[in-house]
Amino acid sequence: MISVGIVGFGKMGRIRADVSETTGRAQVVRVFEPHPSGPIEYPLADSAEAVVNDPEVDAVFVCTPNHLNKRITVDALNAGKHVFCEKPPAFTAGDVEEIREAEARSGKVLMYGFNHRHHTSIKHMKALISSGE
């Protein structure tokens, strides 16, 4: 089972924790949330860096405000962690290139939560475009 840390435990962080636990594929071992909106039932870290650098953490979910995504993603990859980050990856092409370089150096898996492509309306639009209609 993979041990995960979550940076940002708002709505998406909680969803990622619930899915991790209910699928039985991952165990949440550390969470960082600077502004908790309710009780957190997982061990708390003092900072994002504490999650990223925790030797018990195999993978990091980055569920932070957009402006923090790139830095935490790169830090986690550089620390040898797999990363799942909510969108967007970054704000500039140069920043995305920096992320890609960190991913390549790390040899770890990096994924982004571009989940809107699975919404019914988007699937319908894709079918319309593909059909030529």
Tokens 């089972």 -> residue = 1
- Under-50 pLDDT residues of the chain: none
Tokens of 61: 């979910």
Domain boundary assignment for the chain: 2-131
- pTM for the model: 0.87
Residue 97, sorted as left (phi over 0), alpha (psi -120 to 50) or beta, turns out to be alpha
In residues, how long is the chain?
Answer: 133
Rg of the chain in Å (alpha carbons): 16
How far is 8 from 64, CA to CA, in rounded Å?
Answer: 5
Q: What is the pLDDT of residues 42-59, one digit of tens each?
A: 999 999 999 999 999 999
Confidence (pLDDT) at 95:
97
- The domain 2-131 is placed in CATH, from the list 3.40.50.720, 3.40.47.10, 3.40.50.1260, 3.90.1150.10, at 3.40.50.720
Confidence (pLDDT) at 43:
97
Confidence (pLDDT) at 1:
93
